[in-house]
Chains A and B, each alone.
Chain A
Amino acid sequence: MSIRNKQVGHILKAPENFLSDSLVSEINTMGLNSKRRSFLVNSFLAASSALASAPLLAATLKNDAFVGDPNILTLPEHSKSLGKAVATNPYGVPSKYETNLLRRESPGLTRVSAASVSFAPLQGLFGIITPSGLHFERHHQGWQDIDPTKHRFMINGLVKNAKVYTMDDLMRMPSVSRMHFIECGANTAMEWGNVAVPTVQYSHGMLSCSEFTGVLLSTLLEDCGYDKKAGKFLLAEGADGSGMTRTIPIEKALDDVLVVWGMNGEMLRPENGYPLRLIVPGVQGVSSVKWLRRIEVGDKPYATKDEAVHYIDLMPDGMYRQYTSVQECKSVITTPSGGQTLLNKGFYNITGLAWSGRGKVKRVDVSVDGGKNWKTARLETPVLSKCLTRFNIDWVWDGSPAILQSRAIDETGYVQPKINELREVRGTKSVYHNNAIQSWKVAESGELSNVQAY
């Protein structure tokens, strides 16, 4: 065998160059079939009048019997050549083979791409941290790349001293690092009525999770001497064209709200608010104002456009619920999921994400029969408050149709509801805060598709 290997190795290095590069790579990736085999023989014969006869071919196929994978038997170029130097990519980039998992827009969802959404490719992500370049985007009037040396942050209103901070000031302050999810209030909005989108990227991809570094907003409020009696609500305001503004109750602000510059070890990406944004853990993403320029302390809510015209939930009686903030407990199976197909019958690892705006995830159950019977999944660590939690469970697919579901329970005991349970209370017009159990149907072919089943 070792002799044959050596000889096979000559295919790539032969000075005669009797095989085209494309055929060599095709053989390496696809193996030999009869067409390639005869082409190889012909090429060889044509080029090899000077060569000794061909034990070479017998190395991978002997009397048509499979003796090994050419990816093993033929040493690949990367095992036999010098690799690239350090810092060839001073800022590293993904493998050239990783071109399929990208942020993507949902066609027809919005007509203006500067006030739109790009969804994170949850179907292929691992663990709980979203790579910063794949974090979902939601901008209301385009994104900006702001010079941090010129960025200013102001606190005014019901404070002893209205103050201005530079990035220098903020980054000197006592800092904290915390992992939190950000989920758009409109995540899964397209599914309130019927199934509308093919994959988890478009049904749940307005969801991402990062480690954020910054200063507690409470530290800043103390520094300005906020009015502890009269101060009831804050206004957070962005420096972008939309001047995004949202009201935040002061008890939330003092609890766990962060003013951050760091994201997954580096500065925020421009699309995520560089150089400064707010993080309001567990609350719909719109409150985590990007390009943060100002906090005002006041005594009443502000009813800004994105809390008085949008991000309000229409109930069946025609009333809008205003200031709905909390992203309630929710989970989704990310692999296997809609638009994917199982390779064949056998073992699979069902994996997904669970989260709650009210605290930690306590448990995730998985059903493969559309919710008749459930088994409890394994939770990976860490399990943190208002942070994504990764779950996994074993599954052996016997080839029959199945419906996969996951159901999360948080530390308050709240159980993720079915879509019909949500609709009974809220109807189908409320757009935001759809945290229903997601169903993926598995067909006998192995193809998974988005369904609503209960």
Chain B
Amino acid sequence: MFKRTKITISIFTLLLGSSIANAEQLVNIGRNATEQEVAAWDIDVRPDFKGLPIGSGSVEAGQKVWEGRCSSCHGTFGESNEVFTPIIGGVSKEDIKTGRVAALVGNKQPQKTTIMKVATLSTLWDYIHRAMPWNAPKSLSNDDVFAVTAYILNLAEIIPDDFVLTDKNIADVQKLMPNRNGMTLNHGLSNERGTPDVKSSACMANCTKEVVIRSSLPEVSRNAHGNIRLQNRNFGAIRGVDTTKPPSTKAAADTSNAPKIEPNEPQTSKVSALDIAKQNSCLSCHGVNNKILGPGFNEVAKRYKSEASAEKQLIAKVKNGGSGNWGSVAMPAHEQMSNEDIKLIVNWILAGDK
């Protein structure tokens, strides 16, 4: 992979030289970055651990960070499938020896966990450091990241309970990654000059004896994306099928009689509570019907619907934030939202039945 010939290099150089201004002409464009600026942004860590800062974290410290910042989404043992796909599960002691996760063959483990897939420990460190926690990325200290990484490796039984992961020993731990030998670059899809792995032919006539329908849309899926009639125009060459009704068994009309044209119903521009919830990122933490960081709207409705002061309480909660009712993750204040919007959302949540 990633090979090129000298000929292509020189062609690119020629093209650049002839068609686009050369670099010397770009006077007064951009400026040199300072060392501090590069340090502030150059946070990536490579598989050979180039870029890894000095630091350390114990499994024990990792558990504390985990329980405060990570477990609400990923579960206490990284096994949760509720919000994101599981991190832990599906690897064995034997995999740690071989560096190949046996459960990846066949269909023994349909749900592939992170630890089954990831070959490079740097990937975990880099990603936790740059993007976690979900709602406050880049807020963990370097030592916190070492500690959380250690805790994950301990959950996967790669390192013992008393282990302290450091920039010095991380390369040794890499040698224990269960799927470290599970990646291949031997394919033609890494660049456009690679050789395709699947070859078909462009037969034009009598290409098969018999065409067989091998798979059809399950009946339950026909209306699972909402009414398809409302996802197509009500004029033009076709119509969307009304998927709230069973498929028609009547043959299509022979005649050229124009079909009944249903009147257009221009939509009013009324903003729905769901729109407001989306615009204010409510759905980043609350599912309509499931828990994310905070409770699902369905759970909120269930708990509060019989309380007379529910509307007032919840309006205050959205406006000012708070914590303690649903777990350790605090609900932030939403001062930017208008009172009308908050009221609309709260009543929509309490109404339930989404």
Contact = CB atoms under 8 A, between A and B. Distances in A.
Contact of B190 (A249, A335, A343, A415): A249
Interface in A134-178: 140-142, 154, 156-157, 161-166, 169, 172-174, 176
A20 to B, nearest CB: 15
Give the size category of B's interface with A. Answer: 35 or more
Interface in A177-230: 194-199, 201-202, 216, 218-219, 222-223, 225
Interface in A405-451: 407, 409, 414-418, 420-422, 424-426, 429, 433, 439, 441, 443-451
A322 B20 CA distance: 34
Interface stretch (B159-167, B233-241, B339-347): B233-241
A335 B238 CA distance: 8
Interface stretch (B56-64, B147-155, B197-205): B197-205
Contacts of A331: none
A446 B252 contact: yes
Interface string B197-237: 11111111111100111111110011111101011111011
A18 interface: no
Interface string B61-97: 0000000000000000000001110000000000000
Interface of B is mostly: loop
A58 interface: no
A237 B44 CA distance: 9
Contact of B234 (A100, A232, A301, A346): A100
B189 A325 contact: yes
B208 to A, nearest CB: 6
A237 B41 CA distance: 10
B250 interface: yes
A326 interface: yes
A23 B73 CA distance: 55
A54 B344 CA distance: 52
A446 B185 CA distance: 46
Between B4, B100, B213, B278, the greatest number of chain A beta carbons within 10 A of the residue's beta carbon is seen for B213
A404 B92 CA distance: 47
A158 to B, nearest CB: 12
Contact of B225 (A202, A225, A323): A202
A242 interface: yes
B29 interface: yes
A344 B253 CA distance: 5
Contacts of A343: 237-239, 252, 259
28 contacts: A107-B225, A108-B224, A141-B131, A169-B29, A172-B29, A196-B218, A197-B221, A249-B191, A251-B8, A251-B9, A251-B191, A294-B41, A303-B119, A303-B123, A304-B126, A305-B123, A309-B123, A343-B252, A357-B192, A370-B211, A371-B211, A373-B207, A399-B251, A417-B198, A439-B213, A450-B217, A451-B215, A452-B215
Contacts of A218: 12, 16, 20
Given A237-B44, A304-B44, A417-B199, 12 more contacts: A99-B266, A113-B283, A245-B126, A309-B114, A312-B117, A322-B119, A340-B232, A372-B205, A399-B252, A449-B216, A449-B217, A452-B214
B231 A309 contact: no
A217 to B, nearest CB: 11
Contact of A372 (B199, B207, B231, B247): B207
Contacts of B218: 195-196
